[in-house]
Amino acid sequence: MPSVDDLKKQSLLEWLVDEELEFVANKLETKTYKAKDSIFKEQEETKGIYMINKGKVEIKRRLQLDTKTKMLIMLRNISSNEIKHTAAGWEHVFSNLEAGIFFGELSVVEGRKNHSAEAVALEDTELFIMSKGVFAELETESTIILAKLMKSIAKSASSNLRQLNKRVLKALIGN
């Protein structure tokens, strides 16, 4: 079971007080992954919301590109690590996440049965997992905790949207 001190470092739980953190701690699973281990793959069943206690995680998605698109990518010489060619094919790296950050929340909030991206441990990683069942139980057990979690999710989504807007603008007008 995660400690309250470890949970205080989690951005998903930033609005919770100690009593609420203790309540949530009893409902979380702790899981560890070695570097390069898959946490989940595209189209795998959604299990819950993942919070990084230690380590780093990469979120990415495989791209199905036609020849013209591949050539445009190479001609534009995208200097970022966002789109890259690997032995498994083309992929788009959405983000690299560190301790204190959460992921997988969109699949849970949207009620998706399967993930639309892949998560891979970049180094030895320890995660706290709030299952989608536990998240759903909070609707009846503690609407206050659920509201606070949704506030954190909305804050993260807003930040991600701002970053996406900047990347789109940069792609359109260049450096």
Q: How many domains does the chain have?
A: 1
| CATH label of the domain that carries residue 120 | 2.60.120.10
Give pLDDT tens digits for 29-74: 999 999 999 999 989 999 999 999 999 999 988 776 555 565 555 5
Using DSSP, state whether 81 is helix, strand or coil. Answer: coil
Helix-then-strand count for the chain, H and E: 6, 9
Element (H, E) at 15: none
Percent of the chain with pLDDT over 70: 82
> Residue 61's beta-bridge partner residues?
92
Q: Which of 35-39, 95-99, 161-165 has the lowest mean pLDDT?
A: 161-165
The boundaries of the domain holding residue 115 are 4-173
What sign does the CA torsion over 159, 152, 46, 29 have? positive
